[in-house]
Amino acid sequence: MGTFIPNTREEQKSMLEEIGYSSLDDLFKDIPTECMFKGELNIPKGKAELEVVREIDKMADRNKMYKKIFRGAGAYYHYVPSIVDTVSNKEEFVTSYTPYQAEISQGILQSIFEYQTMICELTGMEATNASVYDGCSAAAEACTMCIERKRRKIYISETVDPRIIETIRTYNFGSDAEILMVPKVDGETDSKSLKDMLDDQSACLVIQQPNYFGILEEVDALSDVVHEAGAKLIMSCNPISLGLLKTPGEYGADIAVGEGQPLGLGLAYGGPYLGFMATTKKMFRKLPGRIAGETVDKNGERGFVLTLQAREQHIRREKASSNICSNQALCALKVAVYLSAVGPKGIKEVAVQCTSKAHYLQKGLEKAGLKLEYDKPFFNEFVTDSCDSSKLLKALDEKDILGGLPLGDNRILWCATEMATKEDMDELINATKEVS
Closest Cα to residue 350, out of 422, 247, 244? 244
Closest Cα to residue 264, out of 334, 180, 212? 334
Q: Enter the DSSP assignment of 4.
A: -
- What does the pLDDT look like over 89-124, one tens digit per residue? 998 888 777 777 888 889 999 999 999 999 999 999
How many CA atoms does the CB half-sphere of 253 hold within 13 Å? 30
Q: Are 305 and 102 in contact (CB under 8 A)?
A: yes
Predicted confidence (pLDDT) at residue 3 exceeds the cutoff of 60: no
Q: Residue 272: is the preceding peptide bond cis (ω within 30°)?
A: yes
Closest Cα to residue 161, out of 71, 237, 254, 103? 237
User: Please, which residues bridge with residue 130 across strands?
Assistant: 290
- What does the pLDDT look like over 337-369, one tens digit per residue? 999 999 999 999 999 999 999 999 999 999 999
Average pLDDT of the residues in 407-427: 97
Q: The domain 68-78+343-435 is classified under which CATH number: 3.90.1150.10, 3.40.50.620, 1.10.340.30, 1.10.3720.10?
A: 3.90.1150.10
Q: What percent of the chain has pLDDT over 90?
A: 77
Q: How far is CA 203 from the centre of its chain?
A: 23
Q: What is the pLDDT of residue 367?
A: 96
The letter for the amino acid at 323 is N
Element housing 59 (H / E): helix 49-60
Residue 313: pLDDT band with limits 50, 70, 90: low
Give this prediction's pTM: 0.88
Q: What is the pLDDT of residue 315?
A: 57
Mean pLDDT, the chain, rounded, equals: 92
The packing angle between helices 389-398 and 422-435, to 10°, is 130
Least confident range of 31-40, 134-143, 308-317, 425-434: 308-317
Domain ranges of the chain: 68-78+343-435, 82-338
Q: Between 13 and 3, whose confidence is greater?
A: 13
Residue 143: pLDDT band with limits 50, 70, 90: very high
Q: What is the pLDDT of residue 45?
A: 87
Topology of domain 82-338 in CATH is Aspartate Aminotransferase; domain 2 (3.40.640)
E runs forming strands in 275-425: 275-279, 292-296, 302-306, 371-372, 381-385, 401-402, 405-408, 411-415
What value, to the nearest 5°, has the Cα angle with vertex 20 and ends 14 and 24?
Answer: 65
- What does the pLDDT look like over 144-189, one tens digit per residue? 999 999 999 999 999 999 999 999 999 998 888 999 999 999 999 9
What value, to the nearest 5°, has the Cα angle with vertex 401 and ends 395 and 405?
Answer: 85
